[in-house]
Amino acid sequence: MKKRNHISIRAGFLFALPAAIYMLIFVGYPMIQNFILSFKNVDVYTFSDTAKQSFVGLANYTELFSGEEAILSTAIANTLIFTVISIFFQFFIGFGLALLFSKKFKGSSFFRGVTMISWLLPVTVAGLLFKFMFASKGGIINQLFMSLHLIDAPLEWLLDPKLAMAAIVVANIWIGIPFNMMLLITGLTTIPEEIYESSKLDGANKFQTLFQITIPMIRPAIMSVLTLGFVYTFKVFDLVWVMTKGGPVNSTELVSTYAYKLSFEQFQFSKGAAAANILFLILFVVGIFYIKLINDEEEVM
């Protein structure tokens, strides 16, 4: 018996090993390299000449935060605004739709299924589609607003620093709603029908049922959606890169797009690495929170 256990222990580990090694080579190692790189001075001049590369301590980080052209603080603020507003709307719309589509009515599963597609589309294409819809010339959003007499002249959505953020947030909300909806519907289906029936017998109205039964019972799903949503939104790159490239005048510059520009447009690889590490640090804190969350849940189950 003991021997068999021993074998099965080794077998389990061996089964998981190839994937673990692959991820170590192509994710773990680059992460460590990225960490080291961020303390060096690798740029377009020193890239191919390792002799000229040296450690510069925290110089890249301090420059990112306080250098003359540094916009990292702006990028972090933009990323937070982008994330919080996106999640706020994604969550509430997603929750509303989850409540609606968890009811059985004609067409409910069809409507629910089709809304899923925005989540699966390549973000690049979704971004271009929204770029077109927000275009000042030929864009349908301007036309809609003008026909409703909300505006008199076409707005330059993607060229006006104040409006560009709104445009990318709207696009991101459209992409993210199905994810919120599906996870919340799954949560809703775990609530036994009897609980609703007995609350009805007790004379609870719809709002009481929602706030005192539904929401507390799907709390784990809600927390999952919010933390995962935060992580996924905070690292968005493609959408913004395609729609605004961080512009105009850095008004939609996110940490991810800024890190990319540093590394692959200005070829300041070390600075780009440092910016990416800051992004990671923020996500790491939220990620720990999420993992603690699902661990607690697993113990309950």
Query: Hunting for tokens 């600075």 — which residue is that?
Result: 271
Which residue from 11, 77, 195, 249 is in contact with another protein, where contact means CB under 8 A? 11
- The region of 58-66, 84-92, 204-212, 279-287 touching another protein under the rule CB under 8 A is 279-287
Q: Of 273, 267, 275, whose CA–CA distance to 47 is shortest? A: 267
Buried-state track 125-153, b at ≥16 Cβ within 10 A, e below 16: ebbebbbebbbeeebebbeeeeeeeeeee
Joined together, the tokens standing for residue 253 give 């510059």
**106 makes contact with another protein (CB under 8 A):** yes
**188 makes contact with another protein (CB under 8 A):** no
Q: How far is the CB of 166 from another protein (least distance, A)?
A: 16
Q: How far is the CB of 145 from another protein (least distance, A)?
A: 12
Which residue from 39, 101, 134, 157 is in contact with another protein, where contact means CB under 8 A? 101
Report d(CA 286, CA 288) in Å as an integer. 5
Query: Hunting for tokens 């959505």 — which residue is that?
Result: 157
Q: How far is the CB of 139 from another protein (least distance, A)?
A: 9
Q: How far is the CB of 194 from another protein (least distance, A)?
A: 19
**100 makes contact with another protein (CB under 8 A):** yes
Helix or strand (DSSP H, E) at 97:
helix 72-101
Nearest CB to another protein, comparing residues 168 and 242: 242
- State the number of binding residues for another protein (CB under 8 A): 96
Binding mask 56-95 for another protein (x = CB under 8 A): ----------------------------------------
Alpha helices in 102-133 (DSSP H): 108-115, 117-120, 123-133
Q: Of 32, 30, 38, 36, whose CA–CA distance to 262 is shortest? A: 38
Binding mask 235-274 for another protein (x = CB under 8 A): x-xx--xx-------------x--xx--xx----x--xx-
Helix, strand, coil abundance in the chain, percent, nearest 5 = 75, 0, 25
What are the CA-CA distances from residue 107 to residues 190, 193, 255 (Å)? 22, 21, 42
**44 makes contact with another protein (CB under 8 A):** no
**98 makes contact with another protein (CB under 8 A):** no
**9 makes contact with another protein (CB under 8 A):** yes
Please write down the HEC assignment for all residues of 48-68: CCHHHCCECCCHHHHHHHHCC
**134 makes contact with another protein (CB under 8 A):** no
**291 makes contact with another protein (CB under 8 A):** yes
Q: How far is the CB of 249 from another protein (least distance, A)?
A: 20
